[in-house]
Structure 1
Amino acid sequence: MSLGVVLLLGFVVIGQVRNGLLDAKVKASQSQATGGFAVAKQKADEAGAGTDDAATAADDQSDQFVIEWMSNLVYSLSSGGQGAFDVVTLPVGGDSGSGRGPRASGDVDPTASVPEALRAKVDASTTAAQSYTRITYDTGQESQPALVIGKQVNDPNGDPYQLYYLFPLTQEEKSLSLVKGTLATAGLFVVVLLGAIAWLVVRQVVTPVRMAAGIAERLSAGRLQERMKVTGEDDIARLGEAFNKMAQNLQLKIQQLEDLSRMQRRFVSDVSHELRTPLTTVRMAADVIHDAREDFDPMTARSAELLADQLDRFETLLADLLEISRFDAGAAALEAEPIDLREVVRRVVGGAEPLAERKGTTIRVLGDQQPVVAEADARRVERVLRNLVVNAVEHGDGKSLYVGSLVSGGSLGDPVLVSGGKTADAPLTTPSWDIEGDLWVADRNPADPRLLLFKEGAGKPLTVETPGLDGRIKDVRVAADGVRIALVVEKGGKQSLFVGRIEREGRTGDARSVSVRGLRSTTPELEEVTTMSWAGDSRLVVVGREQGGVQQTRYVQVDGSTPEGPPPAALTGVKEIAASEDDEMPLVAYSEDGIVRLPSGAQWQKVDADGTAPVYPG
């Protein structure tokens, strides 16, 4: 920025100096030229009076006289310049007849040195005119800039001619060059000086800031004794003093917090240890009472069982409290050992049963037939699992909670259902859970297509009656309310979407007690429905195409109408799609790009290029 200011200042100064030099030169030149024009007029008048006295002279003698007079005039006028100016005479209109050709002093080329525009201006007026030009010499000397001033005057015979004064601007050009050089040198010196001053100022400001940053980093690393070196009484010194005071207060507060933390850890540890002695005594007494509960009346026996359960819970809480104190002291260690996770799950579920009963939630454990052994810390795994289960029960709104096991690299066990189809296009459909905890699946076997139901997701499949259904079920989805069901049915090369009503005549598990009735097409205009999913209680998101059209994604109400609002963004090659009951949750689809998601008001975004089966839990 300093360089820009210096350059701008230099341009302004050079412009002012140039204008001043030129103005002075122009004024001096105009004064000199005015005097020269007056002398030329005076000489012409004096010579004209002499020619009137000799009126008997011949015309050729008169012309010879004018020629000699013009030459003497140029010499006379230029002799007083001493190189300060040159004189040029030119005939009016370019006429050089009668020997009145161009004349010039100092080896000046008169024709090339006087601009044509100026000659035409002088021809058309009797006043003086001026212009800038370059003086050209006949001797090959380098041309130089000049100011030319011309006027039309008369010779002794009264005939007009053009008289020009050429004033070289060489001296002004040298002066301007000297000024430029001086300004450049001074400007460079000023820039260097400003740079040095700026460097010193920045160094005085930045060095303490860098020092403060370094000390702040060391303070954050725990070196609380670090302080800034303060010198002087300026603003930077006051900043350093404030920084040191802040660091001192911070060190004091941290020290207080550490002391408080040590007291807290000691208190927790002391309380935990002090509670162990009475707890052991209470445990021994409770075990005696629990062992003799069969001899008590039912209410007393139940109280003994509750006492034992609550003592177990109290012991667990006490162990957690001791572990927290060890964590605070940094002495906690992982006690990993082979454990059967089923026992951990059973303890957690048993402890959460009273809460589940109050919340109206049923907790079911799946896949606990085979041992699930893992190298882990039983107490920590139990704590994590207990938090998950309790949170699920607290916020589950009375819904059933399922706890299952997945073993990495292990087998899922024997299949509960195998399709009877022999071709690759006849497997089972993607299963769908309903609100009753039942699992729905369709067998796409062309020889025996069936809609099947697993009561509570287990046992033998029940065949669901579908009166009026003509075709093979390709996909099945049960609504969140457990009352409506959507089916993609294939017939004659066309896949259509049907929505029906689930009727349960009894809850005894009878195969004839569950049926799907009132099936009707909701998208008759679509020739091929590829996939669909419930997107609320009465709305579906459907992927399909019309006859001769391209694949499209749209929302459809159960009555076949189109809901208000924009359709989902276009996506090609969709094979499966999943939606949530919550409108704010994104659509998830399996397409040519893998698993993609569509947030509300956005475009499709890739999630996993290798995924194949999008699904919303529940």
Structure 2
Amino acid sequence: MLVSAVRQTWRRSLQVRVVSITLIASSLLVGGFAYLVADKITNILLENTSEDVRERLQSGREYAANQISVYNQPGEPKLQGTLESTVGYLAGGDPRQVGGVVVALTADQYPASIKPAISPAVDVRPMISEELRQRVAENDQVAHQIRTGDLGSGRKKYLVYGSPVRTRVGQLELYYFVPLERQDTTATQARSTVLATGVALVLLLGLLSALVTRLVVNPVRVAARTAQRLSAGLLDQRMAVNGEDDLALLAASFNQMATNLQRQILRLEEMSRLQRRFTSDVSHELRTPLTTVRMAADLIFAEREEFEPAVARSAELLQAELDRFESLLTDLLEISRFDAGFAMLDAEPTDLVPVVERVVDRLDGLATRCGVPLRLLVPDHPVIAEVDPRRVERILRNLVGNAVEHGEGRPVEVTLGADATAVAITVRDHGIGLKPGEEKLVFNRFWRADPSRARQTGGTGLGLSISLEDARLHGGWLEAWGAPGQGAQFRLTLPARAGDRLTTSPLRLVPADATAPVDDLLQPSAAPLAITAGGATPLAPGGAVPEPRTEVSP
């Protein structure tokens, strides 16, 4: 839950992304700089201490060699006392006054008569590693190491320097043990100071980035909110213009764009209103002359057998074209009612089984002429829903008629299904299907999949548009699926009770015999699409369309 909330905040907030990236980048930069500074300070302190120890070691080695040069044999009685006094001198008397430096003069590689001289008297053997001893005693060179141990004043870190001392009694080894406590304390304080400064700098950069981003993001957010209000129909919304900078120029340009859009939208609305009024007026005005022409045409058609063959054929053509013209006029009147918002739903509890059977029976003659078998799959029990039977029958007539026309002589299946909340009817053909891009146009007015095809139904091109409006008037869905060479399937889903909101459909939109592979379903250029009232939606592998949908007019 927390990860999801953080991810959502990251995606939605530009300010959070900018501040976070600034904090991360500055933390890495300041952290690296702090590490380099602290490491440099530590190295400088250690180098200074090493330089001081080397100088003391050089003078101490010369002093020890001069003091012991008077002895020729290791066993001379005063040699041990000279070693101890030399070490005491080199240690400076009280070691506490010189920072706890321990000096040792040993001769472990020589006769046992020479005992180690150490000031102060502590056991330094654990502090002298075998590697250091070999480099000093055997390789005859100055060497050093950093060791941690207890030389009488607690466990500390020491810088151990060793050097050979050549005398007549043999080669001795001079060691200095310098505590690094003061250097460690100084380095720790330096690191803490650099770290605190870095944290303060990072926080300051984060605060500055938040303030700067806020100055830029706030106008963008205002523009987004204003754009949302404009898209919601509040065309008089504008942004406040403050100052003369780039943001003020953005606000002024946005306001100018909104003004132009408002002007164009109002102009288009007026044109649309005039167009709808013109269509409605023309459709109504044509009713009267059409009725007169229809009466005359019916009289001529009834007496056609008494005419010459050419005149009789003309009477039949006149009757057929009048039928088409009357159908077009009826569709235009229906469309004008939908556009004007005057369409009313006369819902009543209806058994959809006889409705579907009646549509199939009426179109059986057309299917026989086209050589398309009609198959009806309905439950053996009543399917009751609160619908307008006239509008549902008109939807089914359009769907089945289109399927028969494009069926290519293959069977057309009409299936009725229901569950506790919805009823659904699918019309499946196995004809040419829908090409990529056609599924976006199938519910458009006056659109045809192939205008060059010979039409059998004499349709007007408004059938699916009216069907979509009828489905929307019920609060239902009218959806389409199609793929080249696999035919098409239309699904009408209606709520079982008028006014209920649909969430699922009892029947699949993608037919079970669809052979498109899953990979193709994910390709936008070739994927079969579900055309819902909300537009074209790529289908999931199981054929389901994400719910819920929102409707738009074609």
Is the pair's TM-score, using the shorter chain for normalization, greater than 0.5?
Answer: yes
Aligned to 1:5: 29
RMSD across aligned C-alpha pairs, in angstroms? 4.4
| CA distance in 1: counterparts of 2:412 and 2:81, whole angstroms | 131
Give 1:23-422 correspondences, 5 Å limit: 23-45=47-69, 47-48=70-71, 63-79=76-92, 82-84=97-99, 85-93=101-109, 95-97=111-113, 100-134=114-148, 136-138=150-152, 141-154=153-166, 158-289=169-300, 300=311, 303-304=314-315, 306-334=317-345, 361=370, 376=388, 378=390, 381-382=393-394, 385=397, 388-389=400-401, 392-393=404-405, 395=406, 399=409
Deviations 1:275-312 (A, max 9, x none): 12322332343445456667656665665555445434
| CA distance in 2: counterparts of 1:366 and 1:597, whole angstroms | 16
**Displacement of 1:389 after TM fit?**
2.7
**Displacement of 1:148 after TM fit?**
2.3
| CA distance in 2: counterparts of 1:177 and 1:167, whole angstroms | 18
Residue type matched to 1:153 in 2?
V
**Displacement of 1:228 after TM fit?**
2.8
Q: Is the 8 A contact 1:118 1:129 kept in 2?
A: yes
Give 1:553-572 correspondences, 5 Å limit: none
Secondary structure in 2 aligned to 1:64?
coil
**Displacement of 1:35 after TM fit?**
0.8
Q: Is the 8 A contact 2:57 2:163 kept in 1?
A: no
Residue type matched to 1:9 in 2?
F
Q: Is the 8 A contact 2:403 2:412 kept in 1?
A: no
Residue type matched to 2:142 in 1?
A
**Displacement of 1:270 after TM fit?**
1.7
Residues 35 and 334 (structure 1 numbering): CA distance in 2 closer, same or farther, change over 3 Å? same
Secondary structure in 1 aligned to 2:109?
helix
Residue type matched to 1:190 in 2?
L
Alignment counterpart, residue 42 of structure 2, candidates 18, 26, 40:
18
Secondary structure in 1 aligned to 2:234?
coil
| CA distance in 1: counterparts of 2:303 and 2:279, whole angstroms | 35
Residues 158 and 322 (structure 1 numbering): CA distance in 2 closer, same or farther, change over 3 Å? same
Residue type matched to 1:167 in 2?
V
How many equivalent pairs are there?
398
| CA distance in 1: counterparts of 2:418 and 2:50, whole angstroms | 101
Residues 319 and 190 (structure 1 numbering): CA distance in 2 closer, same or farther, change over 3 Å? same
Residues 26 and 284 (structure 1 numbering): CA distance in 2 closer, same or farther, change over 3 Å? same
Residues 115 and 289 (structure 1 numbering): CA distance in 2 closer, same or farther, change over 3 Å? closer
Specify every segment of 5 or more residues in structure 2 that has no aligned partner in the other structure, as ranges: 1-23, 377-381, 420-483, 488-510, 520-539, 544-554
Residue type matched to 1:142 in 2?
G
Q: Is the 8 A contact 2:163 2:173 kept in 1?
A: yes
Residues 346 and 305 (structure 1 numbering): CA distance in 2 closer, same or farther, change over 3 Å? farther
The more displaced of 171-180 and 224-233 is 224-233
Higher relative contact order (CA 8 A, sep 6+): 2
Secondary structure in 2 aligned to 1:266?
helix
| CA distance in 2: counterparts of 1:91 and 1:366, whole angstroms | 113
| CA distance in 2: counterparts of 1:172 and 1:363, whole angstroms | 99
**Displacement of 1:183 after TM fit?**
0.8
Secondary structure in 1 aligned to 2:199?
helix
| CA distance in 2: counterparts of 1:106 and 1:77, whole angstroms | 11
Secondary structure in 2 aligned to 1:149?
strand
Structure number having the greater helix percentage: 2
Q: Is the 8 A contact 2:276 2:340 kept in 1?
A: yes
Residues 327 and 150 (structure 1 numbering): CA distance in 2 closer, same or farther, change over 3 Å? same
TM-score, normalization: structure 2?
0.60
Structure number having the greater strand percentage: 1
Specify every segment of 5 or more residues in structure 1 that has no aligned partner in the other structure, as ranges: 52-58, 410-581, 586-594, 609-618
Residue type matched to 2:404 in 1?
A
